Amino acid sequence: MDKPIRVLIVDDSEDDGLLLLRKLKKGGYSPTYEQVDTAEAMSKALDKQTWDVILCDNAMPGFNAFSALELYKDKGLDLPFIIVSGTIADKTAVAAMKTGVHDYIMKDNLARLSSAVDRELREAKNRQERRESTIQLRKSEEKYRTLFEDSRDAIYLNDKEGGLIDFNRSTLDLFGYSGEEMSGINTKSVFVNPDEYERLQDEIAQKGSVREFEVKLRKKDGTEMDCLITSTVRLARDKSIIGYQGIVRDISELASNRKQLEKTLKELRKALGGTVEAMALTVETRDPYTAGHQRRVSNLARAIATEMGVSEDQIQGIRLAGVIHDVGKISVPGEILSKPGRIGTNEFGIIKEHPQVGYNILKTVDFPWPIAQIVLQHHERMDGSGYPDGISGDNILIEARILAVADVVEAMASHRPYRPALGIDIALREISKNRVSFYDSKVVDACLRLFNEKGYRL
């Protein structure tokens, strides 16, 4: 099927314009076009609609390619601008390329017109996707900062020695300090009992995190308050501790009422769960190619589990694990996530760390399902060839085995920056071929029934 394309031809020769259209049609395009030969006409055409490519003659009476390019730049456009000329000196062509022209083609060599247009359209698409990725990253950072600042709980980051690096407005409200005063405080100084601080640090060092650690903290005016601290270590790439991050909640008013205290603890767990989901959204907005991937995997995994007759409680756990199974990709640099072309061994090694990172993020959250373990194991394989731990067979949770099949099918069927979508048929052939060696055979059979017999679609 011919590819539609909108072409603005800037040329004073109608015959040459028609020749360009014939070459594009021969190259597999179905062009709609307008031909102009003056600056005024070109300006009106650019304002009237969006074009896919501009094909411009080098010299016309009272108008040339350099003038056309300046007009193009003045309008802030970023679409392929290609000079198509009967005569153009090499020096002039080089100057044009330096000025912003994307390519130039001699009219006696129009055989390469379609391939040049193909290439420049791909490059324009890549530029647009990079811009959108940058915008999405900025939005995700702003969203995370809004979540941080708007939280009613005190949230803080500190270094290994206890010096505060960052804190939200609720931290100032809780302790009664100004921002400048808070910046100069060591977290140890707000503990009423120094031994509680030491016990907190020891527990974090041993376990990597603490949940709802009850302590007494002191406000600026000396008022003591009962608080719960949930904290995790912040690790460098070499796994060394560089600091801590945590949430502080004042429970002073609830200390005498155990029932109310238990309700507050549940709210804290809910808050942590909401934070994890926000982090999962942050991953998707950082990587436009996997935006929606986690939710599609979640839906497919839930459908497979239902087809297999898994309990409703387990299905709920599988659904939630699917929604956040790639949360560990928050640690993968954005340039790797959206890199076009082949991913190198070292880069893939960084990507392979995401199940462990996801586990580290989720293990402190008190889910009623083994969410952290499911996320950790979703790249394990039945024969032990998976990662990160190389476990096999029944050592892999059934929830993780279901998620693994859903993840592979969705990933192969969808577009990635390093390859086009392979399609659902190839994805289903992959799980069929490896239904015993890599994937649980019962899970594969249920997935195949969904697509082949029950009309399931991603």
Confidence of residue 417 (pLDDT cuts 50, 70, 90): low
Q: SS3 for 173?
A: helix
pLDDT in tens, 202-247: 888 888 889 889 999 999 999 999 999 998 888 888 888 888 888 8
Q: Is the pLDDT of residue 288 over 80?
A: no
Confidence of residue 414 (pLDDT cuts 50, 70, 90): confident
Confidence of residue 388 (pLDDT cuts 50, 70, 90): very high
Quote the CA–CA distance of 47 and 75 in Å, as a whole number: 9
Q: Confirm if 290 and 433 have CB atoms less than 8 A apart.
A: no
Bridge partners for 226 per DSSP: 216
Closest by CA position to 96, among listed 81, 107, 111: 81
Q: Confirm if 73 and 56 have CB atoms less than 8 A apart.
A: no
Question: 152-256, what's its fold?
Answer: Beta-Lactamase (3.30.450)
Q: Give pLDDT, residue 333.
A: 81
Confidence of residue 263 (pLDDT cuts 50, 70, 90): low
Q: Give pLDDT, residue 447.
A: 95
Quote the CA–CA distance of 343 and 351 in Å, as a whole number: 10
Q: Does the 274-452 domain belong in CATH 3.90.1150.10?
A: no
Q: Is the pLDDT of residue 17 over 70?
A: yes
Domain boundaries, the chain: 3-129, 152-256, 274-452
Instruction: Taking residues 370-377, report their average pLDDT.
Output: 95
Question: 3-129, what's its fold?
Answer: Rossmann fold (3.40.50)
Instruction: Taking residues 254-271, report their average pLDDT.
Output: 62
Quote the CA–CA distance of 181 and 355 in Å, as a whole number: 39
pLDDT in tens, 95-136: 878 888 888 888 888 888 888 888 888 888 888 877 777 667
Q: Give pLDDT, residue 160.
A: 84
Instruction: Taking residues 63-76, report their average pLDDT.
Output: 88
Share of the chain above pLDDT 90, in %: 30
Residue 54 has which token pair?
Answer: 């501009």
Q: Give pLDDT, residue 397.
A: 96
Q: Is the pLDDT of residue 272 over 60?
A: no
Closest by CA position to 279, among listed 337, 351, 327, 211: 327
Closest by CA position to 124, among listed 72, 86, 87: 72
Q: Is the pLDDT of residue 144 over 60?
A: no
Q: Give pLDDT, residue 240.
A: 83
Helix (H) or strand (E) segment spanning residue 249: strand 241-250
Q: Is 10 exposed, middle or buried (0-12, 13-18, 19+ CB in 10 A)?
A: buried
Q: Is the pLDDT of residue 384 over 90?
A: yes
Strands 29-36 and 53-56: unpaired
